[in-house]
Each structure stands twice: as C-alpha cells, then as structure tokens.
Amino acid sequence: MTSFSRHLAELRAPDFDRLVTDRSIFVQPLGAVEQHGPHLPFNTDLLIADRVATAAVERVGDELDVWLLPPLAYTKSNEHAWSSGTIWLSATTLLAVLDDIGRCVAMTDARKLVFMNGHGGNSALVGVANREIRLSHGLMTFLAHPGVPPDQGGESPASELGMGIHGGTEETSLMLHLAPDLVDMSTAIRNVPEQLADNKHVRFGGTVGFGWLSNDFGPDGHIGDPTDATAESGAVLFEGAVEAFCEALAEIAEFDLPMTGSTP
C-alpha cells in the first residue's frame, strides 16, 4: 500500500505534482440532495455513489492510479423540486459546473475523468457533459453508475414490474446496509405505477421516454416497493457495485481512442 491518500483533496501541492501523471484517472462522485419518499434520507444518492467510489478506489487505486475527488452533492434534481428540502441545480448550471471540473482536471497531467453518478436524473445531462468536456478540454470522459437505473436499461425486482426507479427495493436495501440509522422502514410503503405495466413502449424502461415529476405517481415521491428491502440484499448489491466499478476502472485504464493524439 502507498503512504499517501488516494483522496485528491487530502494531497499537498508538491505531492500532487509528483504523483499525478498522464496515467492517472480522476473519479468524480455525483449525488443528489432530494426527497426519497418517507423512508429514506435526502442524501441517499450521494451516500451510495460516494461509498461505491471510495471502496473501489481503496481496492484498485494503487494498481490503476485512480484518484478520488470530493463528491458533488447538488445536481439536477428538479423532478423533486416540489418537495421542500430538495436542493437542485438547473441543467444549465450543472453543465457549467461539470465543464469547470473538466477544465480543472485538464490542467493536470491526468487525461481521464470518470463520473460515478448515483442519481438517475443526471444521466442524460452527464452524457452531454462528457462530450462537451471531450471537445473543449481533450479529456477522455466516462459515465458510471452504482447500478444502471431501471428506466435506463437496468433491472429491478419482478415485484416492482421493472419500475423500481426511486426509493424502491434495491435502493432501500443499499441504505439499510450502508446507513441503517437513516432509514425508517415503519414508513415504507409500496408505490409502483402498475397502470404503466402493460405498456410495451411508454413506461419506465420502455422505448419511448416521457417527462415526469416524482409526485406525478403519488404524494410520497418514491417509485418502487421498499417493503421488500433487506440489509442482507443491500450488502450483496453493494459488493456487486464495487466489483463492477473496479472492473470498469481496469478497462478505463486500458482505454484509448484511435485518434487521441489529435486532440480537438
């Protein structure tokens, strides 16, 4: 093990200049501060993304030269803007913030920036940011998740009809494993949009997307079934997420683009 921290913010300037190279990979966790129904805390997405990123960097950071940036708590959560306590950035602001982060990373010797995104509402925007940063700053950019959101091609338990997208079984299980003191299972209730279940296209995870707010599907703001959640399932999910991200980082370390030498 190294004698220095893999948390970039804990380095001193001379150490940074000595340790960060063109092989280095920067990981930026992205969370959210938003309502998660009556049973989960506002920092659910933030905590999960940061814990997965931290555990992965602890495992493979030395081997792959990975550096962990401080998590970004406030992101694009305006589907929850109706709920007091949700703190969100506009799409324009978040794009600018991500671009600024990319610009700063590009001023170092590192050439790769990975966004570990714990909030599904950010995904489309981070995909746009990845290309903008690539064009403007020449970095190779990547988007990873602790688990692919069900409305973006990921899976959720059959009991949720494939639509456990927010505060459902798996997210609640992860929180029961990671921070059980922040979870109130006495208030957990099932809220699955069964009216969409028979749709082939227009549904969460279907081929036709639609704009939505979390309170379009009930006043509690979650979409899924947290009542089936367990800490034991959360432990399995967490280990799977960390292992998958470690594998992804290994591929990112080897990743190159055919014309990388011709920086835009």
Q: Please state the domain extents for the chain.
A: 16-254
Instruction: Give percent of the chain with pLDDT exceeding 70.
Output: 97
For residue 2, the model assigns a pLDDT of 52
**How high does pLDDT run on average in the chain?**
95
Q: What is the mean pLDDT of residues 24-48?
A: 98
Q: What is the mean pLDDT of residues 141-159?
A: 93
Whether domain 16-254 has CATH 3.30.70.1450: the reply is: no
Asked whether 226 and 168 are in contact (CB, 8 A), the reply is yes
In order, the DSSP letters of 185-241 are GGG---B--GGGTT-SSBSTTSSB-----GGGG-TT--BB-GGG--HHHHHHHHHHH
Residues 6+ apart with CB under 8 A from 69: 8, 9, 26, 27, 28, 29, 101
Instruction: Provide the pairing of β-strand 112-117 with 25-30.
Output: parallel
For residue 215, the model assigns a pLDDT of 96
pLDDT over 90 (residue 239): yes
Q: What is the mean pLDDT of residues 155-184?
A: 96
> Looking at this protein, which amino acid is placed at residue 11?
L
Asked whether 246 and 66 are in contact (CB, 8 A), the reply is no
pLDDT tens, position by position, 189-222: 999 999 999 999 999 999 999 999 999 999 999 9
pTM above 0.85, yes or no: yes
260 versus 26: the higher-pLDDT residue is: 26
Question: Considering only CA atoms, which of 261, 233, 53, 40 is closest in space to residue 140?
Answer: 261
Residues 6+ apart with CB under 8 A from 177: 231, 232, 233, 234, 235, 237, 238
For residue 137, the model assigns a pLDDT of 97
For residue 3, the model assigns a pLDDT of 66
Q: What is the mean pLDDT of residues 239-263?
A: 89
pLDDT over 80 (residue 1): no
